[in-house]
Structure 1
Amino acid sequence: MEALKVSELNTQIKAILEQTFLDVCVQGEISSVKVHTSGHIYLSIKDEHSSIKCVMFKGNARGLKITLEVGQNVVIFGSVSVYTQKGEYQILCKSITLAGVGELALAFENLKNKLQAKGYFESFHKKPMPKFPKRIALLTSATGAAKEDMLKIAQKRWENVHITLFDTLVQGENAKECIVANLALADSFFGTKDGFDVIVLGRGGGSMEDMWAFNEECVAEAIYRAKTPIVSAVGHEVDVFISDFVADLRAPTPSAAMEMLLPDKFEFLRIIDEMMSAYSSVFQRYITQKQNLIVQLKEYFGLYNFHSQYANKTEQIEVLGQRFTESLKATLEKKQGEIEKLKTLIDMACEKKLTQAQMESERIFESLSANNPHSLCKNGYAQISKGQKVCTLQDIAVDEVFELGDLDLHIFAKRVK
């Protein structure tokens, strides 16, 4: 047998192995892992009896949804490759998933927990939706059925709104970059006259892989950083995406987003009709009340206006004046009668008093006349005086000189025993 060179043997082994194991699916526990600066990932997996080296090149590593760690039980899909220089073989990994758990589901949970820990889902971060949006930025595929559904609902519910379509990739390798770019573009108008009241990020249903762009961290970051309120309207009602948690409002479907954002014009027309009817009824009652009040005021005015009051008061004054005149006349007549009576009584009293005074005067006169010295003297009586004072004989002492006098003669005398 002819001897082979080492390189020849390795080349033959390489040809046999790589042709035989074009597609392999291997399950094992990661025993070592290293992410190179180039982007390639080098790892080893093992079971109870042996181990094998694996490599995932940068192109495939970009699509990896999980972070590889030592101890993880993974399923690797790829092909066997032989490194002839060292005579080693390894698995060229096309995809790596956790054994027993879907790769996408795990990536979803990991990102959800990460963003939740950062507070991206907190309610105080949520911006309120406008009650009557006038400008809506619609981020979806220009050729998708979701766009037509949303525009149809918007036209039906509320025509007074302007919708600007930002044609956006919603699936595929470049979808996340397109979504982030269009979110930034639509939000850049915030605060200007061309600013949007709300941004709707939507697409119809599909597989988890097709919809994965809405579970990307960069998309979540763009939604969280936006100043404009954002509605996540992705997939069907049962579908849940990271964008739903971060957005200010989650709509179960794209059509539902328009129903939630835009008021129903028919409902508002009904409300307006009811309001107009109620207003008309209230206004009619108000007018009727005011009309009745005007009628009452006219009646009051007729009774209490200046001319009526003046006529009434003039009449009252005349009546009162007449009554006063009559009362005064009656009073004067009554007092005149009383005066006449008093005059008669006074005259009678005066006459009585004068008679009594005259009689008393006559009595006093008679008494005085009886005691008048002149009268006494005329009747032979003399007046006794001493020291020019009239006295009696009792006032004269024995041998005392006194004076006797009448109307014609005065003499001195002396008292003797």
Structure 2
Amino acid sequence: MSQSMMSVSSLNTKIKSLLEATFMHTLVEGEVASVTYHTSGHLYFSIKDDKSSIKCVMWRSSVSRMKFRIEKGMHIVVEGSVSVYTPRGEYQFQTVKIEPYGEGALALAFEQLKEKLKTKGYFDAQRKKSIPKHIKKIVLVTAKQSAALHDMLKIIEKRWALVEVVIVDTLVQGEGAVAQIAKSLKYADILDADVVVVGRGGGSIEDLWAFNEEKVADAIFEMQTPVVSAVGHEVDVLISDYVADLRAPTPSAAMEMILPDSTELLYSLDEMIQRFEHHIKQKLFDVDRQLKHHEEMLSRSSPYRQLNEIQIRSKTLLNEFDRVMKSKISHLELQLPVLSQAFQKNISFVIKQKEQTLKHLNNAFLMNDPKGKVKKGWVEISYHGEKVELEKINMNDEFYVVDPKVKIKVKALEKKKID
């Protein structure tokens, strides 16, 4: 028997030692031929080129650090080492890191999540809530000691210091930031605010990555309060920007976009006051002019004025009568012996005629006097500005009794019908 002969187990063990010692920290490039994300969290897949393929595995701890999912047909670069399963003599590539071929993992992860959320309707314009025009309470979800918070508070103080500000302190980068941001957003949603602003200042794509995670996108999508995403600088566009109801290029810009400028508002208020004062003055002028016109019209049609004119005309007539009579008397005195009897008749006729005229004028005066048109003891009932009958008045109603001289406010304490 040859001394070089060995058992299957020994052979597989030597192969394992040789392969694992030779192919450590190896990079392999190829196309994904098959892929299975196992319920255990492990990833099983294979890659190939135009001539051969190799089985690969990535354990759950490494899978959890991946930012994107691999799919069949994707061109990737895997990093790891060759391992051998000695009981079956099978080998596979034990992967610790996967990168897309020719592009960054984060860029691919961003596009994958963006497409997924777009398909689910997270970016639809019709589901976005409008930002209130007049904001009384605002919640800021960000790091309490951050420059971004300082900038936002500075703009708030400058533009609209009347707004109530609630700060929800949260991690915005690093391990645990995603879970904290999502939790903080859910808490902010129950604070009965008009708007929630979530964000942070600028940084690298890795620093901002928490806002590109699906868990944060879900939290924003499920909120009932309008949300403004204010992350990084103007050039940074993140998943939170697409899902939020409003995207602000920076945290400071968010405050300028949603809060009114108190200075501009005061200018506008001044202008409105000036227009109001001018309008009121014009109205008062117009009303005063109309009042004077009505007073003049009333004066012209006043019974007292008409009576005064009648009295003036009557006095004029009497004066004219006296003048004519004196002239007549002087003329008749010369003819007195002849005309004495005729004069007496004539003067009696004239006096009776003038008495009738005076009586007629006096009757006309009495007929035109408003005081004479109302019987003594009778009044009008006025209820809510309208003339009504007494039977329309109910118990405890307040109303007015009016005659030509007096207006009295009374209250119905008792009501009886008179048969």
| TM > 0.5 | yes
- Aligned positions of 1:224-263 closer than 5 A: 224-263=221-260
What is the aligned partner in structure 2 of residue 107 from structure 1? 109
**CA 1:94–1:319: 2 relative to 1, 3 Å:** farther
Separation of aligned partners in 2, 1:148 and 1:3:
77
The correspondence for 2:168, drawn from 160, 166, 169, is 166
Amino acid at match of 1:140: T
What is the aligned partner in structure 1 of residue 182 from structure 2? 180
| Residue 67 (1) aligns with residue 69 (2) | yes
Amino acid at match of 2:156: A
What is the aligned partner in structure 2 of residue 53 from structure 1? 55
- Aligned positions of 1:120-139 closer than 5 A: 120-139=122-141
| Residue 25 (1) aligns with residue 32 (2) | no
Amino acid at match of 1:162: E
Separation of aligned partners in 2, 1:93 and 1:5:
30
Contact 1:33 1:70 in 2 (8 A): yes
**CA 1:14–1:173: 2 relative to 1, 3 Å:** farther
Show CA shifts across 1:338-375 (max 9, x none).
xxxxxxxxxxxxxxxxxxxxxxxxxxxxxxxxxxxxxx
Show CA shifts across 1:36-76 (max 9, x none).
22111122212233333321111111232333333322111
Separation of aligned partners in 2, 1:75 and 1:282:
77
Please state whether the residue corresponding to 1:100 is helix, strand or coil: coil
Please state whether the residue corresponding to 1:127 is helix, strand or coil: coil
Contact 1:66 1:97 in 2 (8 A): no
Greater CA drift, 16-25 or 209-218:
16-25
Please state whether the residue corresponding to 1:308 is helix, strand or coil: helix
What is the aligned partner in structure 2 of residue 214 from structure 1? 211
Percent identity over paired residues? 50
- Aligned positions of 1:255-404 closer than 5 A: 255-316=252-313
Q: TM-score, normalised by structure 2?
A: 0.68
Separation of aligned partners in 2, 1:313 and 1:245:
91
**CA 1:38–1:297: 2 relative to 1, 3 Å:** same
Show CA shifts across 1:274-309 (max 9, x none).
112222222333333344444445544554444223
Question: Could you list the runs of 5+ residues in structure 1 that have no partner in the other structure?
Answer: 190-194, 324-417
Following superposition, the deviation at residue 255 of structure 1 comes to: 0.9
Separation of aligned partners in 2, 1:12 and 1:152:
69
Following superposition, the deviation at residue 182 of structure 1 comes to: 1.2
The correspondence for 2:198, drawn from 198, 201, 224, is 201
Separation of aligned partners in 2, 1:275 and 1:158:
20
What is the aligned partner in structure 1 of residue 158 from structure 2? 156
Show CA shifts across 1:320-353 (max 9, x none).
9999xxxxxxxxxxxxxxxxxxxxxxxxxxxxxx
Please state whether the residue corresponding to 2:97 is helix, strand or coil: strand
**CA 1:31–1:122: 2 relative to 1, 3 Å:** closer
| Residue 34 (1) aligns with residue 36 (2) | yes
Separation of aligned partners in 2, 1:314 and 1:111:
103
Question: Could you list the runs of 5+ residues in structure 2 that have no partner in the other structure?
Answer: 321-419
Aligned residues: 323
Following superposition, the deviation at residue 118 of structure 1 comes to: 2.4
Please state whether the residue corresponding to 2:230 is helix, strand or coil: strand
Please state whether the residue corresponding to 1:148 is helix, strand or coil: helix
Following superposition, the deviation at residue 148 of structure 1 comes to: 1.0
**CA 1:18–1:270: 2 relative to 1, 3 Å:** farther
Amino acid at match of 1:157: R
Please state whether the residue corresponding to 2:173 is helix, strand or coil: coil
Separation of aligned partners in 2, 1:321 and 1:120:
103
Separation of aligned partners in 2, 1:184 and 1:320:
101
Please state whether the residue corresponding to 2:36 is helix, strand or coil: strand
Following superposition, the deviation at residue 116 of structure 1 comes to: 2.0
What is the aligned partner in structure 1 of residue 379 from structure 2? none
What is the aligned partner in structure 2 of residue 381 from structure 1? none
Show CA shifts across 1:201-250 (max 9, x none).
11122222222222222222221221111111112212222221221111
Please state whether the residue corresponding to 1:34 is helix, strand or coil: strand
Please state whether the residue corresponding to 2:130 is helix, strand or coil: coil
Separation of aligned partners in 2, 1:4 and 1:277:
107
Q: TM-score, normalised by structure 1?
A: 0.68
Please state whether the residue corresponding to 1:236 is helix, strand or coil: coil
Please state whether the residue corresponding to 1:133 is helix, strand or coil: coil
What is the aligned partner in structure 1 of residue 45 from structure 2? 43
Contact 1:18 1:80 in 2 (8 A): yes
Alpha-carbon RMSD across the aligned residues, in angstroms, is 3.2
Separation of aligned partners in 2, 1:100 and 1:90:
24
Amino acid at match of 1:274: E
